[in-house]
Structure 1
Amino acid sequence: MAASSQGLDSFGKLCHSHLPPFYITLPFGNVYTYILALPFGSVNTQNGVDAMDFPTRLKKLRTDHHLTQKQVYEAIGMSSLGYQRYEYGERKPSFDMLIALADCFDVSIDYLVGRTDNPKINR
C-alpha cells in the first residue's frame, strides 16, 4: 500500500479537509486501484494559518463562556456522553447539533468547525 499527495493541494483547500487528501493504492487482482482518502485530523491549515480543530474550539468556547459541560449539553438537548464525545473528538455532530451549538455560543457554524477565525461571519 502506498500513499502520495501529488497534485492534490488545491483539492485539499477546495474541500476544506483537515489534512491534505492523498491516494491509497490497493491491488485488486492484476489491477491497482487508486482510492482518494480524505483524513479527519486535528490540524486545519486554511490560507496558510493553523486553525483549531472542532473539539479544541468547542472546549475553548465553553470555557471562555464559563460554562460546564452539563450546562451546554442540557441547553442544546443532548446526552452528557454525546457531548463529551464531541469535546474528545470521538464523534462529529449532526447538522442540527452544529446549529444548536453555534446558537448556544452565538458564533457561526464556520467558526465552530474552524473554517474561519471570525466568530460573527455569516451570522
Structure 2
Amino acid sequence: MGFSSRLTSLRKNRGLSRDDLAEKLGVSYSTISKYESGSREPDFGTLQKISDIFDVTTDYLIGKSNNTNTSDNNNNPNRAFHNFEEISEQEKEYLEEQLRIFRKIKDNK
C-alpha cells in the first residue's frame, strides 16, 4: 500500500473529510484530492505534518514500513488519547457509553 491509499484510509478512519484535512494542513481540498489520487505527493514538511496529525511514522505513510507507531507512542501508552479534537462525535459517544458500562460493571463487583 502506498502513500495515497494510506492517507485516504487514515483520513476516513478518523472521520475527517478532505476539507477537514486540508484545513489542518493549510492546503486546498484539491491538494488533498491529488494526494489521494496519487497525482501529487506532499513535500517533506507536509509529510511530517500528516504524520503528526495521524500519529504515524513517515515511513508508514510512504509505505516503507507497516509499523504505524511513532516513538512517542512507544514511550507513552496513553498517546492514543492525546488529541481529542480528532475524535468524531460518534466516537466520543461510543467511548462515553463504554465508560458508563465499565463503571457499572466495576461498581457491581
**TM above 0.5:** yes
* 2:8 paired residue number: 59
| Unmatched segments (≥5 aa) in structure 2 | 73-109
Q: How many residues align?
A: 72
Match of 1:86 among 35, 43, 51: 35
Larger Rg: 1
Deviations 1:38-92 (A, max 9, x none): xxxxxxxxxxxxxx11100100000111111111110111111111100000001
Which structure's relative contact order is higher, taking Cα pairs within 8 Å and 6+ residues apart? Answer: 2
Preserved CA contact (<8 Å) 2:55 2:70: no
Residue type of the partner of 1:108? T
Identical pairs, percent: 36
| Unmatched segments (≥5 aa) in structure 1 | 1-51
Q: Hey, which bits of structure 1, 4+ residues long, moved more than 6 A?
A: none
Q: CA RMSD in A?
A: 1.1
Preserved CA contact (<8 Å) 2:48 2:58: yes
1 or 2, which has the higher strand percentage?
Answer: 1
Normalised to the residue count of structure 2, the TM-score between the two structures is 0.63
